[in-house]
Structure 1
Amino acid sequence: MKKVKYYYDPETLAYRKIKPRKRTKLAYAGLFLLSSALFGFLGFVLLLNTSFFETPKDRLLTREIENLKINYDIVNRKMDQMDEVMASIAERDNNLYRTYFNAAPIPEEQRKAGFGGVNRYKELEGYNNSQLVTDTRKRVDVLSKELAIQSKSLDEIYRLAKEKSKLLAAIPAIQPVQNEKLRAVASGFGYRSDPFTKVRKFHAGMDFSARTGTPIFATGDGVVARADAGASGYGNHIVIRHGYGYETLYGHLSKYKVRAGQRVKRGEIIGYVGSTGRSEAPHLHYEVHKGGVVVNPLNFYYGNISAAEYVAIAKLANQENQSLD
């Protein structure tokens, strides 16, 4: 039974029954419906965030998302390892390879630089795991850039190494005749007594005494520029251009084993000792030129002798005796 409400009327001094208005009833009804709807919506949202209404498809998607998170974590850990390897390679590249070949080191900022300007990851924004995916993508891009820079650096090192090996092969680094007992040096580089005029004059090479027919070796890789008797005083002689500014001359030969234009290797026999031209006895007159300037051949005998042997040869070569040409 509905509860009846009364109010006291002071004018009539009596209690009167309260009659609710229709508008008030409608307002109460509307408020009740609105609050019911609001609580119902909140309850529905809460239920959606629980597993109560999960379908098999929803559960599958949830598992896939968790699996992807795990995979991203594994990828990031692997990239941590790759970063360590790259750092080690970069250190060797800067402090060993590039130092050895006199190449400037690549700055760390250049190796690790990101990508400025336009937002490259805009399409990845707005998702639940956007930060995870974006950070991983950025790391992959930076690592890819590091690999590209390192690859170019190694290409440069390879090119420099090839040039270095060519340079090392071109340098006239051995003695031009066999000199096992270090007694073949007859005269050295510098001022010596001329065997014909007995006047002290500059001797532009080294003389190696040897029997006629003793093999003469190319002291570095190069191309034979001439093999003739066209230059005054040298008799039959050979000139080899080694490149990098190096040139060697072999004079007073008895005969040639090479011709002009022929490419030769260090240690290859190019001719034989003789006494042609302005010569007092069978010997080889040997000169080294660098950048068009004659230099002391003694400074280049590092390819086939020890330090002690070098000292012995230097002692013989530095004696101010009489040259053989």
Structure 2
Amino acid sequence: MGKVKYYFDTESLAYRKIKPKKGRNLGFAALFLLASALFGFLCFFVLSNSKYFETPKDKIQARQIENLKLNYTILNQKINELDEVLANVQERDKNIYKVYFNATLSKIEKDSINSKITFKELLKLNNEQIIEKTNGRVSQISEELANQSKSLDEILNLAKKKEKFLSSIPAIQPVKNEHLKHMASGFGYRSDPFTKARKMHKGMDFTSPTGTPVYATGDGVVRRADAGASGFGNHIVITHGFGYETLYAHLSRYNCRPGKRVKRGDVIGFVGSTGRSQAPHLHYEVHKGGKVANPINFYYGDISAVEYTAIAKLATQENQSLD
């Protein structure tokens, strides 16, 4: 109990007890309640923010966040691996373009940006930003892969065109010419066998017995196989594409018909002496862009450099042609 206090009453000349005031007691009570409430709030704040007092919902959310970080780390690692694979493919693609096709890469491939996000940067982002960044990287790689696929398609088309071009060039001799024994007359001015006048000989003559096989010198389509042209007798014209045509004249018979597609090395006819011809032989011409060309410049598919030098020397000798 509290100490009892007295005061001296001058009227009654006696000591009387001092009664405590009600307002003061109420003030103490209010102060006590306020302190108790503040203490309770601080305890609640501390406990609610402690991992030892997490609610089940808080624990589920925490696990979801950790799983999200882990999944993103794995996803980002896979994206980086795809980046490396894509970079290797682009490097090989660039080398193929440069070395084999003398072509350059497109601007899209040159401007391709390899933007990556690290785990440290990940910690600074919220969930929406993480999703946005991830979608951005996936979209970028998808676009680059689409561009790379288009680039590889272009390479394939270039390869097909180049392969077709190389196979279409008249690159072999039209008859078997072992030891170069069948070269009779070359391209250029020669003496006419009938008039003895000097005139332009627009092809090469190969002497061979009647019935010797004649070969297509490049891939193409037979445009004509008849005896309609003056002086050529039975002859064949093959259109090779890319501006090339070849003529095979004075044949004894045909082994093809107009419209037939032939390959280099196919037997298309046989040597003869039809038309304006002095003896069995094959008259062979090459046309490029509508103009006659010297066939000697195209014999790189079946002879060596030494043989080419020898046949070129024979072809320059001005003699009498056979037609």
Partner of 1:97: 97
Aligned residues: 300
- State whether residues 173 and 301 of structure 1, in contact with CA within 8 Å, keep that contact through their aligned partners in structure 2: yes
**Cα offset, 1:42, TM superposition:** 5.7
Partner of 2:15: none
Partner of 1:299: 297
Partner of 1:322: 320
Partner of 2:65: 65
Tell me, yes or no, if structure 1 residue 274 matches structure 2 residue 272: yes
Partner of 2:53: 53
Tell me, yes or no, if structure 1 residue 154 matches structure 2 residue 152: yes
TM-score, structure 1 normalization: 0.80
Taking the aligned partners of 1:306 and 1:40, their CA distance within structure 2 comes to: 103
One-letter code of the match for 1:100? Y
Taking the aligned partners of 1:177 and 1:36, their CA distance within structure 2 comes to: 117
One-letter code of the match for 2:112? R
Partner of 1:78: 78
- State whether residues 98 and 157 of structure 1, in contact with CA within 8 Å, keep that contact through their aligned partners in structure 2: no
**RMSD across aligned C-alpha pairs, in angstroms?**
3.2
Partner of 2:132: 134
- State whether residues 216 and 266 of structure 2, in contact with CA within 8 Å, keep that contact through their aligned partners in structure 1: yes
One-letter code of the match for 2:162? K
**Cα offset, 1:2, TM superposition:** 7.0
Per the alignment, do residues 194 and 79 of structure 1 end up closer, same or farther by CA in structure 2, a change over 3 Å counting? same
Tell me, yes or no, if structure 1 residue 199 matches structure 2 residue 200: no
One-letter code of the match for 2:207? S
- State whether residues 112 and 146 of structure 1, in contact with CA within 8 Å, keep that contact through their aligned partners in structure 2: no
Please list, as runs of the form range in 1=range in 2, the aligned pairs for 1:245-264 lying within 5 A after superposition: 245-264=243-262
- State whether residues 97 and 104 of structure 2, in contact with CA within 8 Å, keep that contact through their aligned partners in structure 1: no
Please list, as runs of the form range in 1=range in 2, the aligned pairs for 1:101-140 lying within 5 A after superposition: 101-107=101-107, 108-112=109-113, 128-140=126-138
5+ residue gaps in structure 1?
5-16, 115-125
Taking the aligned partners of 1:42 and 1:137, their CA distance within structure 2 comes to: 43
Partner of 1:211: 209
Taking the aligned partners of 1:27 and 1:252, their CA distance within structure 2 comes to: 135
- State whether residues 174 and 303 of structure 1, in contact with CA within 8 Å, keep that contact through their aligned partners in structure 2: yes
Per the alignment, do residues 196 and 71 of structure 1 end up closer, same or farther by CA in structure 2, a change over 3 Å counting? same
Taking the aligned partners of 1:112 and 1:312, their CA distance within structure 2 comes to: 57
- State whether residues 252 and 283 of structure 1, in contact with CA within 8 Å, keep that contact through their aligned partners in structure 2: yes
Partner of 1:87: 87
5+ residue gaps in structure 2?
5-17, 116-123
One-letter code of the match for 2:188? G
- State whether residues 245 and 290 of structure 1, in contact with CA within 8 Å, keep that contact through their aligned partners in structure 2: yes
Partner of 1:174: 172
- State whether residues 254 and 272 of structure 1, in contact with CA within 8 Å, keep that contact through their aligned partners in structure 2: yes
- State whether residues 111 and 149 of structure 1, in contact with CA within 8 Å, keep that contact through their aligned partners in structure 2: no
**Cα offset, 1:251, TM superposition:** 0.6
**Cα offset, 1:283, TM superposition:** 0.9
Per the alignment, do residues 265 and 54 of structure 1 end up closer, same or farther by CA in structure 2, a change over 3 Å counting? same
**Cα offset, 1:136, TM superposition:** 2.5
